[in-house]
Amino acid sequence: MLLDPGMDLTLRPMRYPGFYERYRAAIRNTWTVEEVDLHSDLADLARMSPQERHLINRLVAFFATGDSIVANNLVLNLYQHVNAPEARLYLSRQLFEEAVHVQFYLTLLDTYLPDHDERVKAFAAIEHIPSIRDKAEFCFRWIDSVNGLRRLESAGERRRFLLNLICFAACIEGLFFYGAFAYVYWFRSRGLLGGLATGTNWVFRDESMHMEFAFSVVDTVRAEEPELFDDELGEQVTAMLEEAVAAELAFARDLCGDGMPGMHAEQMREYLEYVADQRLARLGLPTRYGTANPFAFMELQDVQELANFFERRVSAYQVAVEGNVSFDEIF
Amino acid sequence: MTQIVEVDRGPATADRRLATADRRLAIEEAAARVIADPANSRVAARLLAEEIADEAAAHGVRSFSESVAATHAAGLVQDSLAAFVAAHAAELDALVSDEADARFEYFGLRTVYDRYLLRHPETRAVLERPQHFFLRVACGLSSSVADAAELYGLMSTLSYLPSSPTLFNSGARRPQLSSCFLLDSPRDELEAIYDRYGQVARLSKYAGGIGISWTRVRSRGSLIRGTNGHSNGIVPWLRTLDSSVAAVNQGGRRKGAACVYLETWHADIEEFLELRDNTGEDARRTHNLNLANWVPDEFMRRVEADEPWSLFDPKDVPDLTDLHGAEFERAYRAYEAEGRFTRRIPARALYGRMMRTLAQTGNGWMTFKDAANRTSNQTARSENVIHLSNLCTEILEVTSDAETAVCNLGSVNLAAHLLDGTLDWARLRATVRTAVRFLDRTIDLGFYPTPEAGAANRRWRPIGLGVMGLADVFFALRLPFDSPEALELSTRVAEEIALSAYDTSADLAVERGRHPSYGDTRAAGGVLHPDHYAGAAASPRWDALRQKIATTGLRNSLMIAIAPTATIASIAGCYECIEPQVSNVFKRETLSGEFLQVNRYLVADLRARGLWTRRMRDDIKRADGSIHDIRDIPDDLKVLYRTAWELPQKALIDLAAARQPYVDQSQSLNLFMAAPTIGKLSSMYAYAWKRGLKTTYYLRSRPATRIAQTTVPAAAEPPAACSVENPEICEACQ
């Protein structure tokens, strides 16, 4: 079974070809930081109100460390316990993507914050800014919850691991990051920070796949060991999401202050609750909030893009392509 | 459920600033709810029109003449325009139709507002309303009120729009009105290369798109006699071009853009094809340049026959790029026989590499050198050669070291010519006649950033009249894109436009004279473009036209080019040029933000059948804008509303091939393949070549992974595991 302790090395026959397909699809969507033009954002930043500028600085400070935390958990916990070589292939790929995101946000920070001291402060935000520190502590607590767990023998140990996995997928990548992306798209809907939005499109795509991979691990474990998924686990997941919503909401209050046209902490609360419900539904749990999505601009992210190439790069191209020259295929 | 945003206007005494902020929010809300009901687009547009009118009024601009006075005072328009408008203020003001604003969709008006309306240099407030802008463009191209009224009438009804540079600059102090510039390859020497960079920068500054060949520049490893060193090939030069193009911001409106053409026999072709890769050494990558292959027939024949292909250093075969057709083949084979090549590789290996570049980057467009030259009106004399196409692959004009080809563009909105379930052919012909007259005028009124461009344009006087909204016509007339009826209609449209355009150019030759190089054209020898295609000039109307031209000559050497119309189609609120829809629901990203578009024809049909519900919207979004697998939708709608990803691409190529005889330049033909393979691509492009297409444009593909949709309720995913036993499920859950 997927969570059995050990180091399975057998790829043929392959037990979980779906994981392998996810790995291959991820490779086809390779992007690099060099493709993103962030300098076009500087003129927008110069025009922003102090309130907007505060929001952006906080957001950048969160981005500065967010993906590194996810990468740490991947190496320390996920890779160790998800015991199928095809799944570990995906995780290796995910690790690379986290590295690209770290590089992207580092480049963002270097571009947005020309002052050296400001940059140092942004990285220190995780200790000094309460709204960022609280989110980080939430993450560290769940990393620590499986600390020292070398082998998943008992049902209790497996549940502890599942909670860690679900936390990083549903709460951190699936809620903290989704919250952060919403601010970016709010700017974008007003024609601002196109460079950040382009990179965010790509990060968002990657994060979506990370989350889906984690959920498909959960699906697999559920099919193999349904007894692990008892009521208590469900309650723990729901409580964990409530806590994550509260932490992200505190962050939103810090970012939005008294609010700006189209972006208030109260709207962000509705959005976070709406997203949290989606995570619960995906995990087969009852929804908790029943709140509707308040951000119409997020609808824009769900549909195909059709970029005018005069204006920016299209983000839709595939990296790997296969086959041989022939003249009689159907097209 | 229909959700039209209700606008609460509040008490009339409400605080003015608050009212403005409220209106802005209402606009954003309405715009974001277009997917719920397309009618919200008009709601948002109406509010935005009010906003614009208020903004202009704050600077004292209410009438057209006031707007020209204000923009003139701000130093934005020509003295002559201001004088013309002042002299005819009352007549011109009376032309403005404020109701015309009601024709705008939100995205169109937003585009006009964000990027086209003239603004005060300091306050950045707009100094003209949308209808003032149209009339200002018309006046900039007119010498009488009647002329201005004629063009304004077409623009305000969104029946015809000139290209963006004309919209940006007509009447401006520096009226650069041309869309495209095509530069021959620099000569193979340092000074010539740096001179080209300067030309590209000057042309780019005034909002022109650049096509430039690099075929004459020596390849990597070639000996440099002056220093006894070896060349690093074309890549370092193109890196410099890349930076230079990116540095030029077109008046703050959009970034510069260029496409580099390379002939398939150039020895650096493989490195050229890697320029847009996002892997490998960044020092050998150009992230901003577009790339196009200038492909001789001989290469495609060798691909088919699975023969070797020889790569040459242009220094060793300097005349090859100036030859085409049989002469090229003779020379190419002779150089091969003499062993002058740098390397030989299997033609299919290189063709496969080209296909891979298309799949990976969408770039590396396939354009065909011999088809381009064989049928062009400009290439009657062997010294006149087409060396490349332009940034959007619809222009094919002769270039040389001393001549930079230029094209002035405009497009007819076919959707605006629908009348009672058919096309209003008489009005279409009338629109074409007006359009050709004004395009011809732009040649004389335009400012040319380089002498090479001015010289060429005055000699050949080419124009590029195109179309947009073909997909709207097909939807309105209920013709599936791949139906025989669509093919017939689309071909007839092209033929009618060509006939009217040529006829108008013949009239203009009588009124204003032939273009100076008329004697060097095929038309002077009695051959018109459709004559190159069997059966295409069968109508007696072509015989009559040929006879007329024999006495009158032509004012313009080339007349038809189908440009992508990315921006002007959004102003007009129609589908782009000759393209099928990409999705029934899609988002447009532009410099002014993201906008949602929904297929309003589909929505009307679904609503008529009581099927337009919240759930239906979510289903279509979840299916990425496709309705193919949505159970409740009847089959007739499924066939009509297929997206570009679902249509057979063969049909797109067949439509383009049938239209080609009446398109004397070329067409920006995008091809779509969701999951491209080398096999499918190589078959597709070989077919496009065989059908006689002169050029193709982007290969559009889709990302291999996608974001998790946030605003569609999570589908209850079956918790079954992917396993060896049920591999199908793995496919299903991606």
Contact A325 B352 (CB under 8 A): yes
Say which CATH number the domain at A212 has. 1.10.620.20
Q: Strand B290-295 to strand B249-250: parallel, antiparallel, or no bridges (unpaired)?
A: unpaired
CA distance B141 to B165: 13
Reported residue count of chain B is 734
Dihedral sign from CA coordinates of B480, B482, B488, B489: positive
CB-CB under 8 Å, A296 with B29? yes
Decide if A325 and B35 are in contact by the 8 Å CB cutoff: no
- Within a domain: residue A318? no
Q: Classify residue A26 as exposed, middle or buried by CB count within 10 Å of its CB (0-12, 13-18, 19+).
A: buried
User: Between chains, do B589 and A307 touch, taking CB under 8 Å as contact?
Assistant: yes
Q: Is B97 left (phi over 0), alpha (psi -120 to 50) or beta?
A: beta
B9's tokens: 């206007």
The C-alpha atoms of residue A122 and residue A124 are separated, in whole angstroms, by: 5
Closest CA to B507 of B551, B544, B460: B551
Q: Residues 6 or more apart from A97 whose CB is under 8 A from it?
A: A26, A206, A210
CB-based contact, A107 to chain B, within 8 Å = no
Distance from CA of B648 to the nearest CA of A (A): 6
Contact A222 B719 (CB under 8 A): yes
Which of A73, A80, A228 is CA-nearest to residue A164?
A: A73
Tokens of residue B291, six digits: 């790339």
Asked whether residue A3 is domain-assigned, the answer is no
Question: Alpha-carbon distance A146 to B397, whole Å?
Answer: 69
Question: Using CA of residue B420, residue B423, residue B425, residue B427, what is the dihedral sign?
Answer: positive
| Closest Cβ opposite residue B682 in set A17, A284, A325 | A325
What pLDDT is attached to residue B299? 98
Does residue A227 lie in a domain region? yes
Q: Which residues contact B117 (CB under 8 A, 6 or more apart)?
A: B52, B126, B127, B128, B129, B130, B133
Q: Is the dihedral of CA B350, B351, B352, B357 positive or negative?
A: positive
Residue of B nearest to A318 (CA): B360
Residue type, B644: A
Of A20, A23, A90, A105, the catalytic one is A105
Read off the tokens for B490: 């689309």
Q: Which residues from chain A sit within 8 angstroms of residue B705, using beta carbons?
A: 25-26, 28-29, 205-206, 208-209
CATH 3.20.70.20 range(s) for chain B read 180-371
CA gap B91, B95 in Å, rounded: 7
Asked if residue A30 belongs to a domain, the reply is: no
d(CA A199, CA A15): 35
Q: CA B33 to CA B597: how far, in whole Å?
A: 10
Asked if A198 and A315 count as a contact pair (C-beta separation under 8 A), the reply is yes
Q: Is A115 exposed, middle or buried (0-12, 13-18, 19+ CB in 10 A)?
A: exposed
Provide the token pair at B338: 């003499």
Which chain A residues touch B587 with a CB distance below 8 Å?
300-301, 303-306
Contacts of B226 (CB under 8 A, 6+ apart): none
Nearest to A327 among B25, B682, B711 (CB): B682
Find the residue in A nearest to B346 (Cα): A325
- Whether the CB of A120 is below 8 Å from some CB of chain B: the reply is no
Does the beta-carbon distance from B591 to A191 stay under 8 Å?
Answer: yes
Taking CB atoms and an 8 Å limit, are A331 and B649 in contact across chains? yes
**Angstrom distance (rounded) from CA B667 to CA A259:** 49
**Partner-chain contact A281 B585, CB within 8 Å:** no
Which of B179, B88, B100 minimizes the C-alpha distance to B142? Answer: B88
Closest-CA residue to A326 (of B681, B313, B470):
B681
CA dihedral B718, B721, B725, B728 (to 10 degrees): 50
With CA atoms as reference, the chain B residue closest to A313 would be B288
**A217 in contact with B, Cβ within 8 Å:** no
* C-beta atoms of A300 and B683 within 8 A: no
Residues of chain B with pLDDT under 50: 1-2, 8-15, 715-734
Q: How far is the alpha carbon of A21 from chain B, nearest alpha carbon, in Å?
A: 8
Of B594, B624, B716, the CB nearest to A189: B594
DSSP A216-283: HHHHHHHHH-GGG--HHHHHHHHHHHHHHHHHHHHHHHHHHTT-BTTB-HHHHHHHHHHHHHHHHHHT
Q: In which residue are the tokens 């995101």 written?
A: A101
Overall number of domains in chain A: 1
**Who contacts A168 (Cβ-Cβ below 8 Å, separation ≥6)?**
A70, A73, A74, A78, A139, A142, A214
**Using the beta-carbon criterion (under 8 Å), do A331 and B684 form an inter-chain contact?**
yes
Q: Indicate the residue type of A328.
A: D
pLDDT tens for each residue of chain A, 331 residues long: 999 999 999 998 899 999 999 998 888 888 889 888 888 899 899 989 999 999 999 999 999 899 999 999 999 999 999 999 999 999 999 999 999 999 999 999 999 998 899 899 999 999 999 999 999 999 999 999 998 899 999 999 999 999 999 999 999 999 999 999 999 999 988 889 989 998 998 899 899 999 999 999 999 999 999 999 999 999 999 999 999 999 999 999 999 999 998 899 999 999 999 999 999 999 999 999 999 989 888 876 666 554 443 334 444 555 678 889 999 999 9
Q: Does a structural domain hold residue A178?
A: yes
Indicate the SS3 state at residue B408.
Answer: strand
CA A123/CA A276 separation, integer angstroms: 28
- Partner residue facing A282 (CB), from B583, B717, B723: B717
Which chain B residues have a beta carbon less than 8 Å from that of A303? 35, 583, 585-587, 596, 621, 624-625
Q: Which of A194, A316, A326 sits opposite B679 (nearest CB)?
A: A326
**How far is Cα A271 from Cα A248, in angstroms, rounded to an integer?**
11
- Helix locations, B112-175, DSSP H: 130-140, 145-156, 164-169
CATH code, B180-371? 3.20.70.20
The 3-state DSSP class for residue B230 equals strand
A316/B702 touch (CB, cutoff 8 Å), yes or no:
yes
**What span, in angstroms and rounded, lies between the C-alpha atoms of A13 and B390?**
52
Q: Give one DSSP letter per residue of A251-267, joined into a string.
A: HHHHHHTT-BTTB-HHH
B627 vs B635: CA distance, rounded Å = 10
Q: What is the DSSP string of B372-389?
A: HHHT-GGGSSTT-----B
Chain B residues with CB-CB distance to A16 below 8 A? 721-723
Residue B410 phi, psi dihedral angles, 5° rounding: -165, 160
- Check: CB of residue B558 under 8 Å from CB of residue B376: yes
Alpha-helical (H) ranges within chain A are 17-28, 41-47, 50-73, 79-81, 85-112, 116-128, 130-144, 155-166, 177-189, 194-224, 231-256, 265-282
Of A25, A220, A275, the CB nearest to B705: A25
Q: Give yes or no for A308 touching B (CB within 8 A).
A: yes
Predicted pLDDT of residue B701: 84
Q: How many CB atoms lie within 10 A of CB B318?
A: 14
Q: Looking at the annotation, which residues of B are catalytic?
A: 390, 392, 394
Q: Range of A170's domain?
A: 17-24+39-298
CA–CA separation, B361 vs B384, rounded Å?
33
Shortest CA gap B650–chain A (Å):
6
Cα–Cα distance measured from residue B422 to residue A315, given in angstroms and rounded to the nearest whole number: 38
Looking only at the bridges linking them, the beta strands covering B405-413 and B160-162 are antiparallel
| 8 A C-beta contact, residue B40 and residue B27 | no
The residue type at A125? A
User: Locate tokens 């053409």: which residue?
Assistant: B261
- Residue B566 gets the label, from left (phi > 0), alpha (psi -120 to 50) or beta, of alpha
Strand ranges (E), B554-634: 585-590, 593-598
Chains A and B form CB pairs within 8 A to the count of 265
CB B529 within 8 A of CB B499: no
Contact call for B362 and A314, based on CB within 8 A: yes
Which are the contacts of A201, defined by CB distance < 8 A and separation ≥ 6?
Answer: A301, A305, A315, B707
